Amino acid sequence: MLTRHPALLVVAGWTLFNGLLFALLAGYGEGAVAMWLWAGSLALLAGATAAVLWSVRRGPEQHRRYRLVTGGAAAVLPAAAGAGLLGLATVYGWWMAALAVPVLALAALLALAGT
Amino acid sequence: MTLTAPGRDRDRGRAPGGRPPSRYPSGRRLLLSTDHKRIGLLVLGTSLALLFLLGVLALLMRAQLARPESGFLDSAVYNQFFTIHGSGMIYLVMTPFAIGLGVYLVPLQVGAPNIALPRTTLLGYWLYATGAVIMLAGFATPHGAHAAGWFSYPPLADGRYSPGPGSDMWVAGVFLSTAGVILMGWAVLWTALRKRAEGMTMLRMPLFSWSMVATCLMVIGAFPALLAALVLLGIGRADPSVFDSNLWIIGYQHLFWFYGHPVVYVMFFPYLAAVGEVLATFARRPFFGFRLTVLSLLVFAGLSMSVWGHHMFTTGQATNDYYSLTSIALLVPAGIEYFAMLGTILGGALVFRPPMLFALAFIPQFLIGGLTGIMVGTPVIDYQAHDSYFVVAHLHYVLFAGSAFGLFAAFYFWFPKVTGAMLDDRLSHVHFWLLVAGTNLTFLPMFFLGLQGMSRRIVSYAEFDGFGTLNLLASIGAGLLAVAMLVFVYNVWTSLRWPRPAGDDPWQGQTLEWATSSPPPRLNYTPEHPLPPITSYAPLYDLRRTEDGRAH
């Protein structure tokens, strides 16, 4: 599986290499905070490896045919604006989060409509 | 290559016979396009604009430090300037520019018509841009912008010691920008791993695309730690008692540096690889030691995840032996990459065009940054140099004398491909020499200032400290850098205003993007500009050699 899918080999190998260094750090007796932190990162990398595994089982390693994005990207601006309002809500109070709700709802509607 | 259903995507290529496409896209077509090249241009353009803005802050700081006991800047303003300069250059300039290069180039280099997840990539850009605006808007608040340094350790950065909305806006802005960069990084990684054209095996990907694989693995593995650190800081700003516990103070440092060291390589690998591609092109030979260099990039990236604690040696609460060991081990992959670059030059017939000059300057200058990094990665030296100007010199040799020269090598190299126009060679040379002189005049004296005991982040110093002459030299160097950047802007502006056509392949490039038109069409490769046979990581070099063989 790994040799037939070099993309998977790269991500899985890199995750394993991180795991090896993590184990070495554990051997040095590093504190719990650092170990939990790196374990969290390893979980993310394991998730990325799983995503690549899922993808290589479904599609070819290289492409002759490409499926392109068919919808527009109008939802992106309100989504970013909504995220910005949520960010500002942490500064100026949670009432700003209420402003973000309709903006994010608009983004969701546009995304669903594919415009 | 077959393409299916571009459908309603409004910015795709125009039908034959219609109005010819404008040379430069504008308005909605640019801002909401899902074309990776336009998203890439948005990222690159925004980060370059911020480079100038944040560079002005540095110039003002150097004016303050030029003379002892200067009152040019108020200490509160100075603190805001070094914080926004440092954090902006890292979160908003060098990192996004590196990822933006990947957004633009990786699909072209792997023969794909677009990036994977284009709308996610576009959302990533807009989050980054929104974050940048929020972060910089802190200057307009009553207490001013954030002033606790780019890593903003608590308790200094908590609500008690850094009050005011400017600091909260910094937290929100950095969070949004970093989230955007993570989205873009994921899209670039997926493109390289899963969107390669037929014939483009992993080991036929060019060095730059490989560097983006290593870079984006670090982005997805390490950058979420910064988001967690910012959440912790946000909570601590709302309730400063959180940081009464040493657990969260040290915990914040771990979270921050788990991101903070890999980000240095995120700001380095793409530029190193760009330099590698420039060296190979202008040495008229394939990159020397390609496979070993690819392996070393992956090992380098892996090791970089394990060295974060060397930033915390002086806390006495990190496992110094381990972090020192892994930090010094970085020399091995770095050494391989350096030998590969030197091997490429030594075996080649060098052509000294502007991108090559920047690439050649990168090699010794980055070496200074790298070797001093190994020095401060050793606890006994770090205890002495910590928080001194030695560290400021080291990081600027890495990020400016190294990465920024790689950035300019990339800029001069790919500018003709992106715009279809050539830059002026004479002005490019002036820019280069001013930049070399300014860089070394600015940052070299800082090593000696650090060794003499000058602390970083100080707004002023006394005459009897004896720092005056070296600081004056550094400030003169900063002035040279400013002039160099003005020459650069003028060169870019005149080249776009009165373009001299570049042709498809002005440099005799070796990778796929040089086979298509300049600028590339909407879907990158067309029947008029088809993908050439992909025979290696330098397919155009192979093609040229085959044609030369036939001619003879």
Residue found under tokens 């993808």:
A55
Query: Is residue B215 within 8 angstroms of chain A, CB to CB?
Result: no
What ipTM does the predicted assembly reach? Answer: 0.95
Q: Is A70 part of a structural domain of the chain?
A: no
Q: Is A71 part of a structural domain of the chain?
A: no
- Give the whole-angstrom CA distance, residue B429 versus residue B285: 24
pLDDT band at B106 (very low <50, low <70, confident <90, very high): very high
Q: What is the mean pLDDT of residues A52-79?
A: 86
User: B298 vs A79: CB contact, 8 Å cut-off?
Assistant: no
CATH superfamily, domain at B30-551: Cytochrome c oxidase-like, subunit I domain (1.20.210.10)
Q: Is A24 part of a structural domain of the chain?
A: yes
User: B2 vs A65: CB contact, 8 Å cut-off?
Assistant: yes
DSSP string, B182-250: HHHHHHHHHHHHH-PBTT--GGGS-HHHHHHHHHHHHHHHHHHHHHHHHHHHHHHHH-GGGGGSHHHHH
Name the B residues in 273-312 with CB < 8 Å from any A CB: 298-299, 301-303, 305-306, 309
3-state SS record for B128-155 = HHHHHHHHHHHHHCCCCCCCCCCCCCCC
Q: Is A1 part of a structural domain of the chain?
A: no
Q: Does B27 have pLDDT greater than 70?
A: no
Residue numbers in B near A115 (CB within 8 A)? 8
Cis ω before B501 (30° cut-off from 0): no
b/e string for B372-409 if b means 16 or more Cβ within 10 A?
bbbebbbbeebeebbebbbbbbbbbbbbbbbbbbbbbb
Q: Which phi and psi (to 5°) does residue B373 adopt?
A: -65, -40
The answer to whether the CB of B327 falls within 8 A of the CB of B307 is: yes
- Give the whole-angstrom CA distance, residue B211 versus residue B532: 23
The total of structural domains in chain A comes to 2
Q: How much of chain B, in percent, has pLDDT values that exceed 70? A: 95
Q: Which phi and psi (to 5°) does residue B460 adopt?
A: -155, 170
- Give the whole-angstrom CA distance, residue B375 versus residue B271: 23
For B118-134, write each residue's pLDDT tens digit.
Answer: 999 999 999 999 999 99
Q: Does B26 have pLDDT greater than 70?
A: no
Q: Nearest residue of A to residue B138 by CA position?
A: A91
Least confident among B88-92, B530-534, B544-548: B544-548
Min Cα separation B492/chain A (Å): 29
pLDDT at B6: 45
Query: Is residue B129 within 8 angstroms of chain A, CB to CB?
Result: yes
Query: Is residue B34 within 8 angstroms of chain A, CB to CB?
Result: yes
Min Cα separation B212/chain A (Å): 13
E-only strand ranges, B428-528: none
- Give the whole-angstrom CA distance, residue B513 versus residue B520: 8
B533 secondary structure, DSSP code:
P
Pick from A21, A56, A62: CB nearest B200:
A62
Q: Which phi and psi (to 5°) does residue B6 adopt?
A: -65, -25
Interface probe with A: pick from B28, B35, B212, B306, most Cβ of A within 10 Å: B306
- Give the whole-angstrom CA distance, residue B304 versus residue B507: 34
The answer to whether the CB of B223 falls within 8 A of the CB of B259 is: yes
The answer to whether the CB of B408 falls within 8 A of the CB of B435 is: yes
Q: Nearest residue of B to residue A3 by CA position?
A: B202
- Please choose, from the candidates B439, B437, B429, the residue with its C-alpha nearest in 3D space to the C-alpha of residue B398: B439
User: A83 vs B179: CB contact, 8 Å cut-off?
Assistant: yes
Q: Is A35 part of a structural domain of the chain?
A: yes
Pick from B176, B195, B197: CB nearest A83:
B176
What's the number of CA atoms in the CB half-sphere (13 Å) around residue B64? 22
pLDDT band at B514 (very low <50, low <70, confident <90, very high): very high
Amino acid at A94: W
Q: What is the mean pLDDT of residues B188-203?
A: 95
Amino acid at B151: F
Amino acid at B303: L
Q: Does B483 have pLDDT greater than 50?
A: yes
Which 3 state secondary structure label does DSSP give A71?
coil
Pick from B119, B222, B255: CB nearest A76:
B119
pLDDT at B15: 37
User: B202 vs A6: CB contact, 8 Å cut-off?
Assistant: yes
Pick from A64, A65, A83: CB nearest B127:
A83
User: B129 vs A92: CB contact, 8 Å cut-off?
Assistant: no
User: A91 vs B169: CB contact, 8 Å cut-off?
Assistant: yes
Q: How much of chain B, in percent, has pLDDT values that exceed 90? A: 91
Q: What is the mean pLDDT of residues B150-169?
A: 94
Query: Is residue B7 within 8 angstroms of chain A, CB to CB?
Result: yes
How many of the other CB atoms lie within 10 Å of CB of B308?
27
pLDDT at A6: 92
The answer to whether the CB of A41 falls within 8 A of the CB of B305 is: yes
Widest Cα–Cα separation across chain B:
79
Q: What is the mean pLDDT of residues B41-52?
A: 96
Q: Nearest residue of B to residue A68 by CA position?
A: B6
Q: Does B530 have pLDDT greater than 90?
A: yes
Average pLDDT taken over every residue of chain B? 93
DSSP string, B11-49: TSPPPTTSPPPPSS--HHHHHT---HHHHHHHHHHHHHH
* Contacts for A86 with CB less than 8 Å, ≥ 6 apart: A96, A97, A100
pLDDT band at B70 (very low <50, low <70, confident <90, very high): very high
Instruction: Kindly state the helix (H) or strand (E) to which residue B3 belongs, with its residue range.
Output: strand B2-4
Q: Does B20 have pLDDT greater than 50?
A: no
DSSP string, B314-366: GGT-S-HHHHHHHHHHTHHHHHHHHHHHHHHHHTS-----HHHHHHHHHHHHH
User: B254 vs A37: CB contact, 8 Å cut-off?
Assistant: yes
Residue numbers in B near A87 (CB within 8 A)? 130-131, 134, 172-173, 175-176
Residue numbers in A near B203 (CB within 8 A)? 6
- Please choose, from the candidates B118, B92, B93, the residue with its C-alpha nearest in 3D space to the C-alpha of residue B104: B118
Q: Does B432 have pLDDT greater than 70?
A: yes
Query: Is residue B469 within 8 angstroms of chain A, CB to CB?
Result: no
The answer to whether the CB of A78 falls within 8 A of the CB of A107 is: yes
pLDDT at A114: 75
Cα dihedral across residues B200, B201, B205, B210: positive or negative = positive
Residue numbers in B near A73 (CB within 8 A)? 32-34, 118-119, 122
pLDDT band at B397 (very low <50, low <70, confident <90, very high): very high
Q: Does B417 have pLDDT greater than 90?
A: yes
Q: What is the mean pLDDT of residues B163-173?
A: 96
Query: Is residue B497 within 8 angstroms of chain A, CB to CB?
Result: no
Name the B residues in 137-196 with CB < 8 Å from any A CB: 165, 168-169, 171-173, 175-176, 179, 189, 193-196
Instruction: Kindly state the helix (H) or strand (E) to which residue B459 belongs, with its residue range.
Output: none
Q: Does B11 have pLDDT greater than 60?
A: no
Min Cα separation B353/chain A (Å): 35
Structural domain boundaries, residue A93: 76-113
Residue numbers in A near B269 (CB within 8 A)? none
Q: What are the sequence ranges of the domains in chain B?
A: 30-551
- Give the whole-angstrom CA distance, residue B296 versus residue B298: 5
Instruction: Kindly state the helix (H) or strand (E) to which residue B260 belongs, with its residue range.
Output: helix B246-260
Q: Is A68 part of a structural domain of the chain?
A: no
Min Cα separation B291/chain A (Å): 13
Q: Which alpha helices (H) appear in B354-460, and where do they start and end?
A: 354-376, 379-385, 389-396, 405-419, 425-451
Same domain, A50 and A93: no
pLDDT at A115: 67
Instruction: Kindly state the helix (H) or strand (E) to which residue B2 belongs, with its residue range.
Output: strand B2-4
Q: What is the mean pLDDT of residues B151-160?
A: 94
Cα dihedral across residues B58, B63, B67, B68: positive or negative = negative
pLDDT at B7: 41
Residue numbers in A near B239 (CB within 8 A)? none
Q: How much of chain A, in percent, has pLDDT values that exceed 90? A: 75
pLDDT at B21: 46
Query: Is residue B198 within 8 angstroms of chain A, CB to CB?
Result: yes
Same domain, A54 and A11: yes
Q: Nearest residue of B to residue A91 by CA position?
A: B168
Which 3 state secondary structure label does DSSP give B4?
strand
For B337-379, write each residue's pLDDT tens digit.
Answer: 999 999 999 989 999 999 999 999 999 999 999 999 999 999 9
Burial of B497 (0-12, 13-18, 19+ CB in 10 A): exposed
